[in-house]
Chains A and B, each alone.
Chain A
Amino acid sequence: MAKITLNNLSHSYVPNYTDADLVLRDINIDWKDGGAYALLGPSGCGKTTLLNIISGLIKPTKGDILFNDKNVTSLNPVERDIAQIFQFPVIYDTMSVYDNLAFPLKNRDLSDTEIDSKVREIAEMLELTSTLNNRASGLTADGKQKISLGRGLVRSDVNVIMFDEPLTVIDPHLKWILRSKLKELHQKINRTMIYVTHDQTEALTFADQVVVMHEGQIVQTGTPVELFEKPKHTFVGHFIGSPGMNILPCQIENGQINFAGQEIQSNSNIKKNNFQKTQLGIRPEFIYFSDKGIPVKIKRVSNTGRHKIIDTECSGGTIKILSNASTEIPSGSTHISFDQKYTYVYGDNWIIE
Chain B
Amino acid sequence: MNKTINQKAWFFVVPVFVLVAFNAAIPLMTVVNYSFQETFGNNVFAWEGTRWFKQILLSERFHDALGRQIAFTFIILLIQIPLGIGIALTMPKKGWGVPVCLILMSMPLLIPWNVVGAMWNIFALPDIGFLGYSLNAIGFDFNFTQQPGDAWFTTILMDVWHWTSLVVLLSYAGLNSIQPAYYQAAEIDGASRWATFRYIELPKMKKVLTLAILLRFMDSFMIYTEPFVLTGGGPGNATAFLSIDLVKMALGQFDLGPAAAMSLIYFFIVLLVCWVFYSLMMKNEVKS
Which residues of A does B touch, CB under 8 Å? 52, 55, 57, 76-78, 82-84, 86-88, 90, 92-95, 103-104, 107-108, 135, 137-138, 148, 151-152
Contact = CB atoms under 8 A, between A and B. Distances in A.
B185 A57 contact: no
Q: Is the interface of B mostly helix, strand, loop or mixed?
A: helix
A137 B200 CA distance: 12
Contact of A88 (B181, B191, B288): B181
Nearest to A84: B188
A149 B181 CA distance: 14
B288 A135 contact: yes
Among B190, B192, B287, the one with the most A-chain Cβ atoms within 10 Å of its Cβ is: B190
Given A92-B199, A93-B288, A135-B288, A148 B185 contact: yes
Contacts of A78: 187-188, 190
B179 interface: yes
8 contacts: A76-B187, A78-B187, A93-B203, A103-B189, A107-B192, A107-B195, A138-B287, A151-B185
Interface string B156-192: 0000000000000000000000010110110111111
Contacts, number: 56
Contact of B184 (A86, A94, A95, A135): A86
B84 to A, nearest CB: 21
Contacts of B189: 103-104, 107, 151
Interface residues of B, number: 18
Given A107-B190, A135-B288, A87 B199 contact: no
B101 to A, nearest CB: 24
From A76, A86, A95, A151, name the one whose CB has the most chain B CB atoms within 10 angstroms.
Answer: A86
Given A78-B190, A83-B188, 7 more contacts: A77-B184, A84-B185, A88-B181, A93-B203, A103-B191, A107-B191, A148-B185
Nearest to B181: A86
A52 B188 CA distance: 11
B192 A82 contact: no
A145 to B, nearest CB: 12
Given A78-B187, A103-B189, A94 B199 contact: yes
A82 B191 contact: no
What does DSSP make chain A's interface, helix, strand, loop or mixed? mixed
Nearest to A85: B185
A92 B187 contact: no
A108 B288 contact: no
Nearest to B199: A92
Contacts of B192: 107
Nearest to B202: A94
Contacts of B182: 90
Contacts of A104: 188-190
A86 B203 contact: no
B288 A57 contact: no
A94 B190 CA distance: 18
A58 B182 CA distance: 15
Nearest to A158: B188
A87 B181 contact: yes
Interface of B: 179, 181-182, 184-185, 187-192, 195, 199-200, 203-204, 287-288
A107 B190 CA distance: 6
Given A107-B189, A107-B191, A107-B195, A90 B181 contact: yes
B284 to A, nearest CB: 11
Nearest to B188: A77
Nearest to B198: A94
B267 to A, nearest CB: 35
Contact of B187 (A77, A135, A148, A151): A77
A86 B187 contact: no
Contact of B203 (A76, A92, A148): A92
Interface hub of B187, B189, B191, B192 (most chain A Cβ within 10 A):
B189
B199 to A, nearest CB: 5
A152 B184 CA distance: 13
Nearest to A136: B288
A88 B188 contact: no
A92 B186 CA distance: 9
Contacts of A82: 188
B187 A57 contact: yes
A84 B185 CA distance: 7
A213 B187 CA distance: 27
Contacts of B195: 107
A208 B141 CA distance: 79
Contacts of B184: 52, 57, 77, 84, 86
A67 to B, nearest CB: 15
B229 to A, nearest CB: 43
Contacts of A84: 184-185, 188
Contacts of B179: 88, 90
Given A94-B199, A107-B191, A86 B185 contact: yes
A112 B284 CA distance: 30
Nearest to B192: A107
A108 B191 CA distance: 9
Nearest to A57: B184
A57 B180 CA distance: 11
